[in-house]
Structure 1
């Protein structure tokens, strides 16, 4: 009834022209024409549509306004290339608005828009969205994000962002949370901390330090008051000797802090910037978040410890996967990309220029970090991300969600805890980031499960995100026919010919 009133209002409008409806279906248009209503006619407009349906890669592709102008995603980013030119003809009309069949005068010739060829693999994207939706449902999570990237080129092969609606339906988001979602990554950032330590020559995987289960830091703030910050490992233990490999494998907070103190604030900040944090990724996607990495002059003495653990810093999923891709790509950061070619109306194909690259760490450092991350999967918190027959390099991280003051819990002393919701409940974001096969990486991936139900320990990344990582990794390896990478020991004679070195074999 309300729609009928709206239409009647338009009929009674003093203006000479009103749209009754825009972007109607062809069936609706034909039904209106068959009514033979005086003064009512159908105007055909160009319309963009997604050949794979409305849900697949929805946030990546984006949307358009009723006037067919890009409003989000690639539709907005490449609006000028996609829109073309609308043609205009002058025709004669009869009194009832019908076109008089005379030769039309072309005022402006129509030009088709260009086409985009994306780096997205439709089969992989579909499988990722299927598996992600299953995990979101099983974990009773609010949403999730998965990105798969080719480290050597920066090409994004899959980028999925899904949420649970109020009705319980799991759908792709209309906005691309893979580039807009910003959060504290927690322990997945420890890979960057130790990559920095190793690249500075401070240690290697076997290097050891005495590690306590608790680190206490006291300092005097600008007001002259003493502040205290305490960091603990998950379990109590007597001070013990730990290697870098052991620290990362078992995700020791205090062990990471001990090495971060040797590295220092300036070095950690510089490396995090090189890895791409606190800045746009280079994807140039609309509304992309830069995350938060405060300038060094705003750090207090506790920030070194906190940020080394992946707290006190805000990152995006695209930044995370790109940083891990740099490790996978022999220490070279390659900016991410979603479009490989543009095809003009004449069918000419233009390959877009390669995205910028830079060296972050030495190749030898990258290989050492890959070995450390392999140990995380084989012996530590990432065991459920493993794939039979393959070496997988990955790191887990479980962070507390941050709440704005008005949405956070008010404690008895009147202060607010930003890591508790208004009802005093803690919420989590679980992440696994890595690459595979570890010895010769072909693919890198980040898996994020946003706000899984806090049931026992099932919200931890090792329980909720790692199995999904392993499932998608296994499917991807089969899909691209990537063979396991093996070391082959040569015979004594051949060994001598190769100066005592081993050779390695592996399929593409």
Structure 2
């Protein structure tokens, strides 16, 4: 019996030992597997794991380049980009947000609103914290933060102060600001459509912003570094840094003070004369630089209106009317067909080849010199004097003075006007061409006609971009096109003499005390909204001072009460001229001598 019992007990011990050995072997196998896996992770996959962790923390941030400024001739800022931020958030992180209660130990990183607990968790809590800073509705913010994904834009174009206020909310890793910029224009509608605007990407799409977009646009940089859980840069982890290169500044020839005054005068004139619109150009005679280019339209720079519509001052074309007589008469003199003192007997109407032409007023046969024909703006006298003036030369001198040609300013929306080839002229057009009808111009072209006469017969390339300045302060003057001689100096001098007599004829309405002026007025019928010749263009071009030409000014108005250019556009140009004389402290004129007789 004892033997049987010992055998049973031995069998149990043997079974238990076997189980222990089996369990030990299994544990040894598991341990070996763990050791192998650990060795694999550390020795084989460790580098890959570390690289993956580093890559997950590494961030490349774009450093936005600032768009260059647009300045006036004196350095006043007309357009500039300012630092702004786009506030973005991680919705997934927001939904897991748990506000930290404020106490003495957590004061530096806790969350509260006006000294009180947030009163919510998740996206709703983040929305409540942001609402006051962003001036937005807390519930709307909460809804934006309740979506899927890790990126949502909450608000654009916030100031650096707002960004700093958000950083003080201790929402790192949930809400942050991305650097952007906003284009600001200093003077509203002062140069609205002329400056134009930029699109959402910061590219110039209209006006000078478009013309100089390549110059104004900078090159973005970037930084690559590792970030912590709160989105902050981990010190010492910067691996790459390329600085942004800001765009160049562009300086215009426009004088802001002159532009402001001209704009003011045009708006007042539009109201006073009931005109549909008014345009003015102020140009430096000797350099061709445009000091003011304005219209009465009220278009804010940077708005959709400024981006969609070009400046009226460059896009509007019209028949110049009698100002065009300056071109034809210059051609008569240059070709030797006449001298300014030539004597003609001029009736108030004339018929040629079945076409009848009349002057703007009834008169008997007048004994006028060529200077008198210009002073009295006689259409009949111009036709009589142009009897031996071939069509080819009529066309040639129009083109030499810039009619039908681009101004070279390359402003968006600029129209070169319309000048057809002589082969397309009918019997009437070949004569109306002589007194400013049958072709169209823009205000810049017309102003350069009288500026060329004032510049001793030399036509300057007009300019509106004075220089560019890079981020290092290096200024480069803009290259100008070559000047071209249109008529001889003697011809220009005689034309100035006759134009001064024209100005004296308007002295009761158009004058600047102490200064001599040389001018020509114009009035032309143009097509109205009804498709007929029911509208009027009134213009006046003037050079001041006549004895020492400095500035050429042209004012154009559509449908003013008073009609005639000398009675409407003329007084407006005188206001501008008076301002110029005072601003630039131009010496008064010497008395006039040797005026060419206007009658005989």
Q: Is the 8 A contact 1:143 1:164 kept in 2?
A: no
Specify which of 202, 211, 229 is matched with residue 337 of structure 2. 202
CA 1:67–1:238 in structure 2 vs 1: closer, same or farther (change >3 Å)? same
Contact 1:59/1:161, CA 8 A, preserved across alignment: no
Change (3 A) 1:215 1:14: farther
Offset, 1:43: 2.4
Partner of 1:469: 573
Following TM superposition, by how much is the alpha carbon of 1:245 offset from its aligned partner in structure 2, in angstroms? 1.6
Q: Which residue of 2 aligns with 1:389?
A: 514
Maintained 8 Å contact 2:157/2:181 = no
Q: 1:104-160: CA deviations, max 9, x gaps?
A: 444642001111222122222222122222112212222211111111111111111
Residues in 1 aligned to 2:199 and 2:306: alpha-carbon distance in whole angstroms: 19
Cα deviation for residue 39 of structure 1 reads 6.1
CA distance in 2, matches of 1:240, 1:282: 42
Checking the alignment, whether the CA contact within 8 Å between 2:310 and 2:412 is kept in structure 1 is no
Distance in 2, matches of 1:78 and 1:9, equals: 42
CA contact (8 A) 1:385 1:392 kept: no
Shift of residue 25 of structure 1?
A: 5.4
Deviations 1:45-76 (A, max 9, x none): 133434x4233333333311121111122211
**Unaligned residue ranges in structure 1 (runs of 5+):** 166-170, 219-227, 410-417, 420-425, 490-500, 502-508
Aligned-residue offset at 1:449: 1.8
Summarize deviations over 1:339-391 as a string: whole Å, max 9, x none. Answer: 222111111111222332100000100011111111111025x7522211211
Matched residues, number:
450
Residue 37 of structure 1, CA deviation: 11
Bigger Cα Rg: 2
Q: Is the 8 A contact 1:113 1:345 kept in 2?
A: yes
Alpha carbons of structure 1 residues 268 and 84: separation in structure 2 relative to 1, 3 Å = same
DSSP 3-state at the match of 1:400: strand
CA distance in 2, matches of 1:216, 1:7: 80
Q: Give the distance between the partners of 1:66 and 1:159, measured in 2 at CA.
A: 27
Report what 1:216 is aligned to.
Answer: 351
Partner residue, 1:158: 292
Secondary structure of 1:261 counterpart: coil
Q: State the TM-score, normalizing by the size of structure 2.
A: 0.68
Normalised to the residue count of structure 1, the TM-score between the two structures is 0.80
The alpha carbon displacement at 1:95 in A equals 7.0
Residue of structure 2 aligned with 1:446, choices 527, 537, 554: 554
Matched residue, 2:471: 345
CA distance in 1, matches of 2:474, 2:581: 33
1:410-452: CA deviations, max 9, x gaps? xxxxxxxx31xxxxxx322221112111121011111112332
Residue in structure 2 matched with residue 400 of structure 1 by the alignment: 525
Which one of 269, 273, 284 corresponds to residue 139 of structure 1? 273
CA contact (8 A) 2:515 2:588 kept: yes
Counterpart among 285, 300, 303 of residue 411 in structure 2: 285
Deviation per residue, 1:388-407 (Å, 9 max, x gap): 1211011111222324xxx4
Match of 2:317 in 1: 182
- 1:180 CA displacement: 1.6
Contact 1:88 1:107 (8 Å CA) reproduced: yes
Shift of 1:22: 4.5
Q: How far apart, CA to CA, are the structure 2 residues paired with 1:7 and 1:19?
A: 10
Q: Secondary structure at the match of 2:509?
A: helix
CA distance in 2, matches of 1:101, 1:460: 75
Deviates more, 1:176-185 or 1:106-115: 106-115
Instruction: State the match for 2:79 in structure 1.
Output: none
In structure 2, C-alpha distance between the alignment counterparts of 1:32 and 1:143, rounded to whole Å: 49
Q: Which has the higher helix share?
A: 2
CA distance in 2, matches of 1:232, 1:488: 32
Q: What is the alpha-carbon distance in structure 1 between the residues aligned to residue 391 and residue 150 of structure 2?
A: 68
Out of 95, 100, 115, the position equivalent to 2:249 is: 115
How much does 1:6 deviate? Answer: 12
Distance 2:366 2:558 in 1: 35
The alignment status of 1:62 with 2:187, answered yes or no, reads no
What does residue range 190-339 of structure 1 map to in structure 2 within 5 Å? 190-218=325-353, 229-339=355-465
Greater Cα shift, 366-375 or 287-296 = 287-296
Instruction: Call closer, same or farther: CA 1:19–1:241 in 2, change over 3 Å.
Output: farther
Question: What residue in structure 2 maps to residue 126 of structure 1?
Answer: 260
Stretch deviating more after TM superposition (265-274 or 176-185):
176-185
CA distance in 1, matches of 2:385, 2:150: 75
- Name the CA shift for 1:18/1:385 in 2 (closer, same or farther; >3 Å): farther
Shift of 1:488: 9.9
RMSD value, Cα: 3.2
Compared CA separation, residues 434 and 94, structure 1 to 2 (3 A): same
